[in-house]
């Protein structure tokens, strides 16, 4: 038996490019705020410096890591070529995976590695929405208007 409804309730709503862009910016700003907070904490808070010693890292590594995070945040938020954003996302993925591995290898509990796990979820949502936005942008064409040439023909 066929449905007589025009739009059955179980049919998924179409995700618009505008929704994708809004979702990208919300998740990305949250991710960058989280990474910015960790960079600040690594540079300024003595208890975070102690946690680096607890994990077995040298003192200079936390400073280097903090500056790398700040550069990565700038690359993700700035209008730079996609290749730079890819490298920034790759660097953050390595950073977050390494944080999880380091905390788990010394036997830390969820209170220590939970932040890295939560930030990894934000990273994944930000990266996937950015990739979706790239595909949407590449396939987008402005609507044709009556009496005008096609957008492609004007190139």
Give 79-138 pLDDT, tens digit per residue. Answer: 999 999 999 999 999 999 999 999 999 999 999 899 999 999 999 999 999 999 888 766
**Rounded to two decimals, what is the model's pTM?**
0.78
- Contact between 120 and 103 under an 8 Å Cβ cutoff? The reply is no
Return the pLDDT at 139.
67
């Amino acid at each position: 038996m066929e449905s007589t409804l025009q739009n059955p309730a179980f049919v998924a709503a179409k995700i618009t490019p505008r929704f994708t862009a809004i979702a990208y910016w919300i998740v990305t700003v949250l991710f960058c705020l989280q990474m910015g907070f960790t960079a600040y904490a690594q540079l300024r808070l003595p208890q975070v410096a102690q946690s680096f010693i607890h994990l077995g890292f040298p003192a200079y590594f936390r400073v280097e890591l903090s500056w790398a995070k700040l550069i990565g945040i700038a690359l993700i938020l700035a209008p730079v070529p996609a290749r730079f954003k890819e490298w920034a996302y790759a660097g953050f993925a390595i950073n977050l995976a390494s944080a999880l591995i380091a905390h788990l290898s010394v036997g830390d509990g969820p209170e220590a590695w939970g932040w890295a796990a939560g930030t990894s979820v934000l990273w994944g949502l930000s990266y996937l929405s950015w990739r979706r936005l790239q595909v949407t942008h590449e396939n987008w064409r402005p609507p044709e208007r009556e009496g005008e040439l096609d957008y492609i023909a004007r190139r």
